[in-house]
């Protein structure tokens, strides 16, 4: 696997101001990463960012030095995380967004396994995250621009992804497809891949009012809850009771998953009863229960289901993941 670009997803100050649940908002604000309330970050190097940064300077300083990596399309998922960062950061001029979208469009291909996007420029692997991010970026861009190309991309990519064998029989997404000609599902069923896809489904519902997309999203969340949780909280398979086997990327996955469930509720505007909202709050509550509080700062581990030796307690990835879950929970009623 490549070194995944240190990805960021920006979190708008508005989201914090609009919080409904003060308990989780307060926890987010006193988290170590809450010292940078404008930015929801996944990797260490954002520490170069100062407290008073605006979104534009946050984004620019985070990406400074990464342009070559991005513009040469080393990884099409990373390019699209950057697009999302710009969109979440409120870049209304859309110039950087469009530039990186154009780079990602080189990943689109119909000859290999019938459609979808390649993961990187080697063109040897199609995976879930790259395609799910394409759903998300196409969704936001259609919402902003009403350019029908983006709606068509959203529709085409979802139709392909849903029918692909990486959408496994247990209702969850595998990491990707084999390149042996059979296009079989392969790899770990990571938590984040069950969350990021929900943005595309929320927007498909918003754009069409077809409730089929809600049902598909509820089913994915139901399958996630029944398959990828321990003690009712998310658990990736790299988390064991004896040692932390997750790398820095993997430590962020659960927070990303929870953050995107909250985006689904925000965009789609509808829950199945309170399943998703309860799920989001349960993740944040478990994290709070396992947090190490020191003075006015809380430090979070990467494992949500229990505090213990599998925790990467205090890693930047764990803090960012925690912040994702806390902010998601802060937007729920409590
Ligand atoms: C719509 O978006 C596509 C892809 O970015 C672009 O090629 C096309 O020019 C846009 N159409 C309009 C009318 O702006
Ligand atoms: C998606 O594509 C299908 C098949 O071309 C079409 O019937 C449907 O109307 C499209 N939906 C949207 C939302 O564009
Ligand atoms: C909605 O939630 C109920 C209760 O949790 C569950 O049994 C049902 O399967 C869910 N519906 C869908 C469409 O996922
Ligand atoms: C679930 O949580 C309980 C209570 O915190 C803990 O004792 C138990 O070890 C956890 N389960 C696992 C599998 O870690």
Tell how far the Cα of 275 is from the centroid of ligand 2, in angstroms: 29
Q: Are strands 292-294 and 233-234 parallel, antiparallel or unpaired?
A: unpaired
| Nearest one of 93, 96, 88 to 38, comparing CA atoms | 88
Tell how far the Cα of 231 is from the centroid of ligand 4, in angstroms: 7
Given a contact cutoff of 8 angstroms between Cβ atoms, the answer to whether 246 and 238 are in contact is: yes
Helix (H) or strand (E) holding 40: strand 39-41
> What's the CATH code of the domain at 303?
1.50.10.20
For ligand 3, pick from 218, 278, 279 the residue to mutate: most ligand atoms within 8 Å of CB: 218
Which two structure tokens, joined as six digits, stand for 50?
């100062």
Tell how far the Cα of 273 is from the centroid of ligand 3, in angstroms: 8
Number of domains, the chain? 1
Q: Residue 24: which domain range?
A: 4-330
* Phi, psi angles (nearest 5°) of residue 332: -95, 165
CA 2 remoteness from chain centre: 18
What is the per-residue pLDDT for 330?
Answer: 87
Nearest-angstrom CA–CA distance, 298 and 322: 10
Helix (H) or strand (E) holding 193: helix 191-195
Given a contact cutoff of 8 angstroms between Cβ atoms, the answer to whether 233 and 303 are in contact is: no
What is the per-residue pLDDT for 19?
Answer: 67
Given a contact cutoff of 8 angstroms between Cβ atoms, the answer to whether 307 and 324 are in contact is: no
What is the per-residue pLDDT for 42?
Answer: 36
pLDDT in tens, the chain (334 residues): 233 333 344 344 334 436 688 888 777 767 655 444 334 443 333 333 333 344 555 566 656 667 787 788 888 998 888 788 777 765 555 777 888 889 999 999 999 999 999 999 999 999 999 999 999 999 999 998 999 999 999 999 999 999 999 999 999 999 999 999 999 999 999 999 999 999 999 999 999 999 999 999 999 999 999 999 998 999 999 987 777 788 878 888 998 999 899 999 999 999 999 999 999 999 999 988 887 766 666 777 777 777 665 566 667 677 778 878 888 898 899 8
Nearest-angstrom CA–CA distance, 227 and 283: 15
Neighbours of 292 (CB within 10 A): 13
| Nearest one of 206, 239, 234 to 310, comparing CA atoms | 239
The residues, any chain, with a CB within 8 Å of residue 51's CB and separated by 6 or more, are 35, 36
Helix (H) or strand (E) holding 268: helix 253-268
Please state the atom number of ligand 4 nearest to the C-alpha of residue 230: 13
Tell how far the Cα of 155 is from the centroid of ligand 2, in angstroms: 6
Q: Is 49 left (phi over 0), alpha (psi -120 to 50) or beta?
A: beta
What is the per-residue pLDDT for 27?
Answer: 78
What is the per-residue pLDDT for 12?
Answer: 40
For ligand 4, pick from 301, 306, 309 the residue to mutate: most ligand atoms within 8 Å of CB: 306
Given a contact cutoff of 8 angstroms between Cβ atoms, the answer to whether 161 and 146 are in contact is: no
């Amino acid at each position: 696997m490549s070194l995944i670009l240190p990805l960021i997803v920006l979190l708008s100050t508005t989201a914090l101001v609009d919080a409904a649940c003060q308990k989780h908002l307060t926890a987010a604000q006193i988290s170590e990463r809450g010292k940078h309330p404008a930015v929801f970050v996944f990797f260490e190097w954002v520490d170069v960012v100062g407290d008073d940064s605006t979104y534009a300077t946050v984004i620019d300083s985070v990406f400074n030095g990464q342009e070559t990596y991005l513009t040469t399309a080393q990884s099409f998922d990373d390019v699209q995380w950057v697009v999302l960062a710009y969109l979440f950061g409120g870049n209304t001029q859309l110039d950087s967004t469009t530039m990186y979208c154009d780079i990602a469009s080189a990943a689109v291909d119909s000859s290999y396994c019938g459609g979808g996007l390649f993961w990187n420029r080697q063109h040897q692997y199609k995976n879930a995250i790259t395609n799910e991010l394409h759903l998300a970026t196409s969704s936001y861009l259609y919402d902003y621009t009403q350019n029908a190309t983006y709606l068509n991309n959203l529709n085409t990519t979802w139709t392909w992804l849903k029918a692909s064998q990486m959408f496994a029989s247990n209702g969850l997404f595998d990491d990707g497809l084999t390149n042996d000609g059979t296009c079989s599902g392969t790899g770990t069923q990571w938590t984040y891949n069950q969350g990021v896809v929900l943005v595309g489904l929320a927007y498909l519902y918003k754009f069409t009012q077809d409730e089929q997309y809600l049902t598909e999203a509820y089913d994915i969340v139901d399958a996630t809850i029944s398959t990828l949780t321990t003690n009712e909280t998310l658990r990736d398979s790299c988390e064991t009771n004896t040692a932390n086997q997750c790398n820095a990327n993997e430590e962020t996955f659960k927070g990303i998953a929870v953050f995107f469930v909250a985006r689904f509720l925000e965009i789609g505007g509808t829950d199945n009863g309170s399943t998703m909202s309860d799920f989001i709050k349960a993740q944040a509550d478990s994290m709070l229960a396992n947090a190490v509080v020191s003075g006015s700062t809380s430090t979070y581990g990467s494992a949500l289901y229990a505090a213990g030796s599998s925790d990467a307690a205090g890693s930047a990835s764990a803090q960012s993941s925690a912040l994702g879950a806390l902010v998601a929970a802060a937007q729920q009623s409590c």
